[in-house]
Structure 1
Amino acid sequence: MEDTISNTEKRPQFGNRLLENAEEVFKHNAWDNVQWDEEQEKAAKEKVQLNSQTTFTEDTLKDLDTNADKHWDSFYDIHQNRFFKDRHWLFTEFPELAPDNTSAPLRVYPNNDETVKSIKPEVGNQASNVKRYIFEIGCGVGNTIFPILQYSRDPNLFIYGCDFSTKAIEIIRENELYDTSRCCVFVLDATKSEWDVPFEKDSLDIIVLIFVLSAIDPTKMKLVIDNIYRYLKPGGLVVFRDYGRYDLAQLRFKKGRCISDNFYARGDKTKVYFFTQEEVSSLFKEAGFLEEQNLVDRRLQVNRGKMLTMYRVWIQGKYRKPL
């Protein structure tokens, strides 16, 4: 159902739509920065305790780990490039990715009594020959890479992307938007201690980590973050966004899908972890990063046809490698 906006009413921009009157919840398809009360938090904890009581057998866990690449290949073989939408919201949340894009609105986050406001970075002198390198880990079929290439016309920008799935890389390379003069994608298991990549250590300006760390076993996350630190140049930035504790996706899991605390396997055998702010902060700070942003993005999504409300919880952060 499309939003109907009268001539006298202007629809709030994405990232700034706040639910101030509960009776208007079905007026739009989504609301930003929705706060939970104690009762809702308690109900979510109870659901997680319930769906975590039964865990997988050792044989099943071995299959999930040993054949992880095959499970992701199967996922992309089935869905091709139809499952994920292009992430045009990226530039509201992370304007650093395309500083020459002026069309995205600024995002305003309430943080207790304070307001943390995203500031668009300086575009800089694009006429100079200083190259700017972005690397996305877990690039999938290009739902982040292609929007960046579309919105940023910086001739000095080059984007690298990797994915665990060979099938995903095949799909992205077959896309008519894939331009080898502006981007390069390749297969990589980011949990390996040594990366085989087409760039040097201390060479990247930005590393993108969006809804991908959650797919990795928690015991291997530190290794991934340590390698990210090695390949970022001093002053380089990590932009992070992933599933938060008690997100709708976690609450929907049935008994028997739990691998370990807050770590699950979906029906297609792909895996997902649900973070707290503290966990994300510790991972990056212990690797040597400076924390520039760490927040919970709580969004209320609405199915107005079925009169249903669905609460999403995401953790978002920005982490800087010291100069």
Structure 2
Amino acid sequence: MHRVRSVSVAKLAKVLSRTSSRLKSTGGRPSAPLGSRILTNPDDVFKHNMWDHVQWTEEDKENARQRAEENSCTQIPISEQGKFDTDAFQYWDKFYEMHQDKFFKDRKWLFLEFPELLPSCAKSQTANGCQQQDGSTRHHSTAAIEENEAAIETTTFPGQHASFRILEVGCGVGNSVFPIVNSIKETDAFLYCCDFSPCAIQLVKDHPAYDNSVCHAFVHDICEETASFPFPPQSLDVILAVFVLSSIHPSRIQGVVNRLSSYLKHGGIFLFRDYGRYDFSQLRFKKGRCLSENFYTRGDGTCVYFFTKGEVHNLFSNAGLEEIQNLEDRRLQVNRGRKVVMHRVWMQSKYRKLHPPSTS
């Protein structure tokens, strides 16, 4: 059993001093995104299960780098790696057959961090422009948008008449699906959700909250280049990918994001949350589980990649999307029973599909 090392109180005090100074300089605690529970006294560390906005010392960074280097020095032979890609859906199908809907919890934080999932956010967009982070309005060509909307209206597909469409890729057993479904009922929104595990999709459809009047669940492998979606290109307002792109071989992720982005409307948003480099889960891998740099396979055959902020930016920018948000979410996760503290690192990002340039 891999032994978890706790963060010492002395090290916490050093980190908290830096965090406290930063908060004073910005006028207090940061609110959402990414939480507002700030640990300012190391003696309080075991009072809660999670602390937000944690600063790493140079020693923390170097220790993490060394541990990742150590556990990746022995890689799985190339001749044995192929199965983790070609048989990925089988590994995940077995995972869901074993755990059913008991492994993950519903993501109740979704709307706090991603309010773009709610159709009301779309109502603030005007017909001639969209509001940017800085408050300015960027004008765009309405002719191309109107032409695309007319083409969509003549196509028959689930959710055709909805004015606001969301796609969640890698939906699993519905831990994001059902919070969204329960929030968009009585609105003119529609949710699509897909996973390449038939078992997971069946569990979604069997859920008592599943409602095909506002949701369409289907089996789909987003790595399959020729596989088609049950809706036309440029028909989606939001794409949600939560802890899914990390399960794909790094060489295939860019192609996946490119293809998915083609289904966004101009002005549509790609919402992303996933594992960050040197997360505790990366550092606890043992030697012999590494497939390639920062890419590992777990004991059950499922895989995981750990992103950096720069990699995320390049990934979406190369797909023609503009950055709205790209954050590194560093937290302390606390096991109060065992009195251990773990550094968690997640990436959270939002990227918008550019409007076509104005022809006027």
TM-score band, normalised by shorter chain: 0.7 to 0.9
Of 191, 202, 205, the match for 1:173: 205
Q: How high is the TM-score relative to the length of structure 2?
A: 0.77
Residues 60-105 of structure 1, C-alpha deviations (whole Å, 9 max, x = no match): 212212211111110000000111100001111101112569xxxx
2:136 counterpart residue number: none
Counterpart-to-counterpart distance in 2, 1:28 and 1:151: 28
Q: How many residues align?
A: 287
1:304 counterpart residue number: 336
1:29 counterpart residue number: 49
| Rg larger in structure | 2
1:183 counterpart residue number: 215
Contact 2:184 2:190 in 1 (8 A): no
Gaps in structure 2 of 5+ consecutive residues = 1-30, 122-132, 134-160, 356-360
Contact 1:15 1:92 in 2 (8 A): no
For the residue of structure 2 that corresponds to 1:62, the secondary structure is: helix
Q: What letter corresponds to residue 214 of structure 1 in structure 2? A: S
Counterpart-to-counterpart distance in 2, 1:67 and 1:31: 37
Contact 2:185 2:214 in 1 (8 A): no
Please list, as runs of the form range in 1=range in 2, the aligned pairs for 1:249-264 lying within 5 A after superposition: 249-264=281-296
Contact 1:100 1:153 in 2 (8 A): no
For the residue of structure 1 that corresponds to 2:262, the secondary structure is: helix
Q: What letter corresponds to residue 88 of structure 2 in structure 1? A: A
For the residue of structure 2 that corresponds to 1:305, the secondary structure is: coil
2:258 counterpart residue number: 226
For the residue of structure 1 that corresponds to 2:67, the secondary structure is: helix
1:143 counterpart residue number: 175
Give the Å deviation of 1:194.
2.8
Residues 20-52 of structure 1, C-alpha deviations (whole Å, 9 max, x = no match): 122211121111111111001111011101100
1:48 counterpart residue number: 68
Give the Å deviation of 1:193.
1.7
Which has a greater percent of helix? 2
Q: How high is the TM-score relative to the length of structure 1?
A: 0.85
Counterpart-to-counterpart distance in 1, 2:81 and 2:317: 30
1:210 aligns with 2:230: no
Counterpart-to-counterpart distance in 2, 1:316 and 1:287: 17
Of 207, 228, 231, the match for 1:199: 231
1:77 counterpart residue number: 97
Contact 2:192 2:217 in 1 (8 A): yes
